[in-house]
Each structure stands twice: as structure tokens, then as C-alpha cells.
Structure 1
Amino acid sequence: MRILFVSVEVSPFAKVGGLADVAGSLPKALQALGHDVRIAMPAYRMVVDDPRWRNRCILRPHNVRIGPAWVQTSWVRETMLEKVPVWLFGTDRWFDEVDRSERIYLPGEDQYLFLARAILDACKRLGWIPDVIHCNDWHTGFVPVLLRESGDIVFHRTASVFTIHNLAYQGEFGVEVLDRVGLPRSLFDMHRLETYGCVNFLKSACVYSEQVNTVSPTYAREIQTPEYGCRLEGLMAYLASQGRLSGILNGIDTEVFDPRTDPALPAHFGPHDLDGKQVCKDAVLREVGLEPIEGAPLMGVVSRLSSQKGMDLMIEAAEAMFALPAQLIVQGLGDPWLAQRYREMQKAFPRHFRYVEKFDAELAQRVYAGSDLFLMPSSFEPCGLGQMIALRYGTIPIVRRTGGLADTVFEGQNGFVFERRDLDEFLSAVRRAHSAYQIKEVWLKMVDRAMHGDYSWDKSAREYESLYQRAAKRRWDDLRQSLEAAGC
């Protein structure tokens, strides 16, 4: 199959969160299954100008009509992600201003409307018409809409698949969006593009895509409930009843995340030789300026600072955790209020805690490798990659049973799990983990089980392959019905 994978962040070129890791790994796994895969992403200046990502022009500047009164200059350059071509879509606005990953998500919708039109235009100009366009999160949500509403016959057999990485972010804008791209306002109703008085990009993609999926089976079930549905639980339940909603667990790039070869680590290790893990622990403690405390496991966190990630719960639990004893390193950026609380916590517990307030991918690898425990007490977690990376590095997760955490971490087997978002429940899980850490035989069995788990994309890529086939079949069935209705 010809598969076009669309994402506004792709690792290693531009990365803010887990979406980039998925976009940088899944296409390679699909290509390994024999598919013809391309990646489409914005031409951020930091990517185009970076000599590491040698890129060439494949479409010179040309005009793309976005709507009746909107023509935008577009150009396309190509780089490679190993053997997968990556198309970089540029223009004279927006993306050229992005000089670092933290600036990827610019406010507004115009850049994403441009991207949607430019992608479809480029496929025609380059003579490469995909069988499936796989879009990710709300920023790409108008690709399925324009694919169908444009009525362009070259795309009549092209199916679309839309992946929800986080339902909380939906992209809501005024009805004038439709005027901008030349769509009739008759589409602005509850059955298609409208949600609570706004054009909702995520909902629009779900309505127009042949198949919709989330990034774990549990999250796919959760979003059909009011607690997790973010006002779209009715639509999600409807899609599920039609056989159009599923959950496919993410994987990780096991070549990048490999403690036996990771160049960011001071020592390497594997499940049968853990000596290097102790070297990594000692090194990361020194790196952040902590002296080891006898009998204290090192807990690690690599996360965006937000209450969704349970970062406020860890503040509440800090004194009790450190009294066990335990030590904690938190690396991440995010909510300024939480960042200030963590700075204060470091002053209050200088022997037990360090807050590293920066994005540093190599340091993150060392935190994963050097920690004994990894904390993810999330309110909700569509999939979560941190727990899988931690498991790969023999670092035992403590998680709340939600989303992808519930699908990957199992109490007493490869981690510790609590149910309610509650201080006592969280501390109970921490205490169980601390007790297990003190019994070497028990602990080594858990570490061994964690490191032998399969966290690769192999199984998930085959599930996506099946999803694409279902999407293509549904598209063909819809097309046949339309032709029959028209008497053709």
C-alpha cells in the first residue's frame, strides 16, 4: 500500500511529546512490512537549515489555492528518515519562524489549513496518490475533510485514518474557517463539523475518516465515557458501534532505546548483566548533585509538568516518600506554578530531590537508565511511552491504572499499579515498590521480566496494517454504493 503519514512533529527532526516518537518510528516499521511510506510534516526552519538533515527541493515554489480568496505560496523539500522519504512543506509564513521544538505549536488555524491543502496539492503534482492518508491529532484534522469535500477524482479511492493521541486537545475555531477554505456553511452542523458552536478539527477528522483509532485499547474504551470523553463521548461510542473506533498500543524504537548500545549512557547493560545499571545510577546522581542514601531507591520522572501527569500528586507525597527513604529526580518543563513548587521542594529536601528544568533528550536517557523506579501517576494517559522506555531500561514503573498504562504495567509483575487518583493509594504503591526493592531476589526478577518485555513496533505495525486495510475496504464500499445510487 501507499501510505502517507501526516504529523506536525516527527522525531528526530522536531519533538515536543510522544507523537514525535510515534511519527519517527511507525513509518519505518510499516516500510519494513513492504509498504511504500512517505511522511508529511511542516518545513520548520530548524529542520531545513540543519546540515544533519540534508534535504533537496522536490517541488519549487508554486501557488496553492486554499480558498476562494486565499492563495498561498508553497514549496516541498525532501529529507530521509533512514529509508523513509520525509516531505517538508514550506511557505513564506508560520513554519519558517520555528527555530526550536518548543515553538512548533503556533496559535491559530491558518497554518494547518494551508498544510492540509498543500499536502493534497503536492500528491497530485508529484504523481504519488496514496491508498491511505494517516493523520495524527487535531492539527491534521482538515486533511480528511478536504480529501472528501474537494470532490477531486484522483483521490476517490484514497482512504483516511485518524489517530487520537490525546482527546483533550481538539482545535476549536469559529465558523469563518469554512469560508476561508471554501466549504459551505451547510457543513456546520452537529453531524459533521460543528461542536458546541465551533468548528472542531478533531471531531471533523473523526467524522470524515474511514477509521479512527487511539493509542491504546483501554483509552479507546475510556473515551466513550463522560469521565474521559471530553464532550465527544457520544461520537466515540457511535464510531465504536460502527466498527470505526479501535485502540492500538504504541511501541517504541527499540534500536534507539537500547541500554546495551545507547550512546548517552556512561555504561551499557542488559538483562543478563546489570552491572552497568548501577554505574548509570551513580553517574546520574553525580550529574544532578545528589549523594546516594543507603537503602534508598532512585525514582525518576521525565515529563511535561501538568496535573494531568500527576505532578501535583508527587508534591503532596514528597515528604512521605523521602522518609522511606527514597530519592527523586524530576526532569521537565511545563506549568509555571508546578515548576515553582518543585524549585521550593528542592530547597526543602536537598539530600533527596533534584528538579532539572530543561528539555535534554540525552539526560532523559540517563534518568531512565539510572533510576530504579519511574513514576507516572497520571490522571489519564492515552498511551504513555515513558513506562515502556523505563521497562526497556530495567526501571520499574509506578503507575495509575488508566489508558496505555493499564495495558503495559501489571502489579507485582513488571511494576506497581494504583487505581484512584488519591494520595493514599499512590503512597501505598510507592511503599510496595520500596519494600520489593529491599528484597534483592524479588527485585531482580521484576527487572528481568521488565527488560524481556516486547515494546517494539512489530506487533503494532501489523495492527495498523490491518486498520489500513479496513479503511480501504470501507472507502471502496462507500464509493461503490455512491456509484450504484447514481445509477452508474
Structure 2
Amino acid sequence: MSCFTLNPHPVAVTGQGGLSARVAATPRGKRKVLFVTSEMSDFVQTGGLGEVSAALPRALRSTCDVRVLIPGYRQVLERQHAIEPVAHLPGRGEIPPCDLGRMTTPDGLVVYVLMAPRLYNRDGTPYLDIRGNDWVDNDIRFARLGLAAADMATGFGDPGWQPDNLHLNDWPTSLASGYLAWRGSSVPSILTIHNLAYQGSFDAARLGPLGIPQDAYCIDGVEFYGKLSFLKAGLQYSSHLTTVSSTYAAEITTPELGCGLDGLLLKRSREGRLTGIVNGIEDTWTPHHGGGGDTFDAARWKSRHADYVRGTFGLQLAHGPLFAIISRLVHQKGVDLAIEAADTIVAHGGQLVVTGEGDPRLEQGMRDLALRHRGAVGVRIGFDRNEARAMFAGSDFLLMPSRFEPCGLSQMYAQKFGSLPIAHRTGGLADTISDGQTGFLFGAPTAGGLNTAIKRGFEAFVSSSRLALMRRAAMSMSFGWDHSASRYADTYRMAEAA
């Protein structure tokens, strides 16, 4: 990519008449939306945001002309897509100028790529180096992303396409709404909060290097407890806020789960500018996908997968229930509560399989658990998508004792595969699990609360008729993206009218 060169001056969009043949025309009447994200499962993913960023833009294509903007990470550049140069974007403060490339995925989704090798072409994840530490220049890296989005919204991008709306996602993209406001633009921006706990906080001395006006460093701007907060900027300047479940939208307006931003979020909610829209999952998350039809036997299918999972994890063949944890191993996910509850599972004749990675102490706690219960508990530190899919298929119950969970996807995957989630009644878990019908919910996030719900699961397991009824109810749940996409399309129109 070292030969990627363009006109060094930004080109403003002046109309549609001079489009080159390479630019696909937007169908008449379709709103143009730039979906700005720091990860996308087509290329690189660290969590649920990557899956949403791949699925939601595609689901929106029936009603909107949606295109994605993503940094040019090494994982993006290594994919076998041709990247065509479309613009040169100016810098601001210490944010370097960069080139903008355009590619099209095999299914026709247009993806814009920020070509800034010095910022993005590195080993590691989008946020962390290979030692697991934050990149020291994360402020510059994601300010570059936000600035590029604002540039494209105001006509300095692809000369054949200018968005009507920006759809921003979490703190790495949040400064875009600020850059729009500081240049007096009226282009509406929607910020989706996938996890309020990650806020993008930096030293206030970084205002100048990031090209942020000094007068924006105030309570009604980017200042947050003496720091510069990217997320606070997004909450303050975006036209509308969404989050990924209705329950979480209410929870974040409270001191308990508002992460210090509850006052501002409550204000946005009272203004009608905060909406909860639950995520969806792909249609492939069903055992019927690819065949089966009316002859599908859920019990036999799950038994076959359960034997496979037991063998893979070195467990003894057994007739008791198989529990699974498929999660980042971090405090938020209540992994410590699950470690405590494992003794109850084993004592009642159950088994547990675990996959994930995260906090080294919790990883070690899981290893110790497997040693203490050889043949009954199996643990793999790491993550393999195919193995996780087999665990959803083979398990009877999925443990999700998250202390908070904005939306969650695993509980939806599990239900479609007939694994009944046992979860804390919070966020998207409360919105997508029907207690006693498609899973089991418990109140306070404590080991005692989780143990009580696990015992409810055992009671259902020993009643074959009830278990079959709950499995059928879970597997018949509808979690497709169409409804969510329709609500986002409505939100874009509402934000423009505001």
C-alpha cells in the first residue's frame, strides 16, 4: 500500500452529475448512511460490536444506502479486496492527513478504509498492543477515525457519495459528532452505545493535539472529571443516542449503571433523544439452517452434539445436564460467580464446559476449577468460533451471570440452538429471555442468586416434557435483524427532523 497516492487537497462533493463509472449511484429516495466503526467481523473483531457492524449495515440495505468506514488495520489490508483510492483527507492538530480508500465486499457492501499505516498497520488488536496494553496513541488513532467521518459528512470524501446521516458506534467514533458541531455542520449523527463502561478518557492536555476547541472543555462539552472523554463528546453533541436494548437504555440513566454519565443520559432520555433497540443475530444461528425441516429431532440433535463437546473437552460421558460458559473472562461477565456456582453443578450431577479469555486471575480460576473437578469441568482459554458453535448446540444450559449486559448475543445464539440461558435479569438479557419459558433469570448478581437459578434448571431437566417444551419455545424465538434495522431507519429520519 506504499504506492497509494492521491491529490493532496480534499475534494468537496458538489453534486451527482459528475459521478465516475466506478461509483454506484444511490437508489432514488434511499437515505445515505455512513456507519462508522472501529471493528467489523469481516476483518477484525474483539467483541459483539464487530458482529453488529457486519450484520446491521447489511440488514439496512433494503431501505438505506449504507456504507461502512473502518480504520485500515493490518487485518483489513491483508484481505483480498481491491482498495481503490477516492480522496485525501486533511489533518487537524497532531492528527495526520491520510488517504481514503474504497472497496466492495463480495456481497456488495461498500467499505471505506482509512489508509494511515503509521496509525493502524500494526500487530495486536484495534485497541491493544501484543502485550495487552492500550496503544499509547489511541487518542490520535480514533480521533483520526472521527475526523474522517466528519469530513465525509461535510463533503470531503468520496466525490460521488456524501452521507445524509452518520451512525457512530462507541467511544472510538464519538468525536465525529464533536467535529461536526465545531464546524457548524447540521448533518445529523446517531451514536449507539454498545457498552457505556468504555469511555475513551485521555489527559486534558490532548485538546490542542486533537484539534478540539478550548471552550469545548466544559461540563456541557468533552470534560469528564478532569479528563477529556471521547464518549462524553458523543453523548453531548450527537443528534440522537441509541443503545442496544430497552432495559439498558433505562439502566444507564441511573447512578448504579450510568458510569458517572447518568445525569446527562437522563437529560437526553427526557428530551426523547435516547432509544433502546435490541440487537439481532444472523439467520444461520439455527439448526434448521441448511436443511432439517419438519423432521428435525431437537433432542437427538443436541445429544449428538453434547457427546462431541464432552469428548472435545475430555469429560466423562454422562446423562446429566451439560452447562456452558462462552464469554470473555472478566468481572463484568460475572465469571467469579460462575466459578463459585460450579460446585453446585457438579454436586447435582451436571458438567461444565468453558471457553474464553480475559482477566489472567479469572483464567487461572477456571484452570483450577477444571483440575478440582476432572472429568466434570473442561476449560479452554481462548476462543474458536466453530468450537463455540458446537458448545451452543451441545449444552443444555448457558450461564450468563453478567453484572450488566447492554445487549448480549450469546443468549440469543443459545436459545436458537435449544440451550436455555441462565442469566442475571439485566439489560438485553432481561429483554430477550422469557423467564421460566425460554430460560431462567435471577435478580441480584450474587453466587446465591445464580445457584438458585441453576437449581431451577436442574428441576426442568429432570422433567423431559417440560425441557422439551422450553427448548421448543427457545428455538422458536425470533431474533432476526429486520425489526432492529427498521427501527434504526426510523431513528435516522427522526434525527434529521430534529
Q: Above 0.5 in TM-score?
A: yes
Deviation at 1:131, TM superposition (A): 1.0
Are residues 79 and 359 of structure 1, via their aligned partners in 2, closer, same or farther at CA, if it must alter by over 3 Å? farther
* 1:27-80 alpha-carbon deviations (Å, 9 max, x no partner): 111102x210101111111221133xx2322336x462222x554333424231
Q: Which residue does 1:196 correspond to in 2?
A: 225
1:468 aligns with 2:495: no
* 1:442-468 alpha-carbon deviations (Å, 9 max, x no partner): 001100000111010111111111111
The equivalent position to 1:338 in structure 2, one of 320, 344, 362, is: 362
* 1:112-137 alpha-carbon deviations (Å, 9 max, x no partner): 11122233335523132111100000
Q: Which residue does 2:20 correspond to in 1?
A: none
Contact 1:161 1:471 in 2 (8 A): yes
Are residues 81 and 303 of structure 1, via their aligned partners in 2, closer, same or farther at CA, if it must alter by over 3 Å? farther
Contact 1:44 1:99 in 2 (8 A): no
Provide the secondary structure at the position in 1 that maps to 2:494.
helix
Q: Which residue does 1:235 correspond to in 2?
A: 264
Letter in 2 for 1:168: A
Provide the secondary structure at the position in 2 that maps to 1:126.
coil
1:21 aligns with 2:43: no
The equivalent position to 1:282 in structure 2, one of 288, 307, 310, is: 307
Letter in 1 for 2:33: I
1:147 aligns with 2:180: yes
1:10 aligns with 2:34: no
Q: Which residue does 1:415 correspond to in 2?
A: 439
CA distance in 2, matches of 1:246, 1:441: 39
Q: Which residue does 1:222 correspond to in 2?
A: 251
Contact 1:271 1:451 in 2 (8 A): no
Which residues of 2 match residues 180-329 of structure 1 at below 5 A?
Answer: 180-255=209-284, 257-261=285-289, 272-274=296-298, 275-294=300-319, 296-329=320-353
Q: Which residue does 1:163 correspond to in 2?
A: 192
Deviation at 1:272, TM superposition (A): 4.0
Q: Which residue does 1:478 correspond to in 2?
A: none
Deviation at 1:93, TM superposition (A): 1.2
Deviation at 1:271, TM superposition (A): 8.9
* 1:57-110 alpha-carbon deviations (Å, 9 max, x no partner): 2336x462222x554333424231622211121213121004667858634311
| Pairwise CA RMSD | 1.9
Contact 1:73 1:92 in 2 (8 A): no
Deviation at 1:319, TM superposition (A): 1.2
Q: Which residue does 1:72 correspond to in 2?
A: 97
Provide the secondary structure at the position in 1 that maps to 2:156.
helix
Deviation at 1:183, TM superposition (A): 2.8
Letter in 2 for 1:340: Q
CA distance in 2, matches of 1:195, 1:270: 56
Deviation at 1:273, TM superposition (A): 2.2
Stretches of structure 2 that go unaligned for 5 or more consecutive residues are 1-30
1:133 aligns with 2:166: yes
Provide the secondary structure at the position in 2 that maps to 1:388.
helix
Are residues 354 and 269 of structure 1, via their aligned partners in 2, closer, same or farther at CA, if it must alter by over 3 Å? farther
Deviation at 1:278, TM superposition (A): 1.7
* 1:271-302 alpha-carbon deviations (Å, 9 max, x no partner): 942222221111111111112222x1111111
Deviation at 1:270, TM superposition (A): 8.0
* 1:382-436 alpha-carbon deviations (Å, 9 max, x no partner): 1111100101111100001000001111221100111011222211110111110
Give the number of aligned pairs.
459
CA distance in 1, matches of 2:158, 2:449: 56
Q: Which residue does 1:111 correspond to in 2?
A: 141
Q: Which residue does 1:350 correspond to in 2?
A: 374
Provide the secondary structure at the position in 2 that maps to 1:430.
helix
Q: TM-score, normalised by structure 2?
A: 0.88
Contact 1:160 1:210 in 2 (8 A): yes
Are residues 408 and 63 of structure 1, via their aligned partners in 2, closer, same or farther at CA, if it must alter by over 3 Å? closer
Q: Which residue does 2:390 correspond to in 1?
A: 366
Structure 1 range deviating more: 117-126 or 134-143: 117-126
Contact 2:329 2:363 in 1 (8 A): yes
CA distance in 1, matches of 2:145, 2:295: 45
1:124 aligns with 2:124: no
Are residues 449 and 14 of structure 1, via their aligned partners in 2, closer, same or farther at CA, if it must alter by over 3 Å? same
Contact 1:268 1:277 in 2 (8 A): no
Q: Which residue does 1:486 correspond to in 2?
A: none
Are residues 338 and 71 of structure 1, via their aligned partners in 2, closer, same or farther at CA, if it must alter by over 3 Å? closer
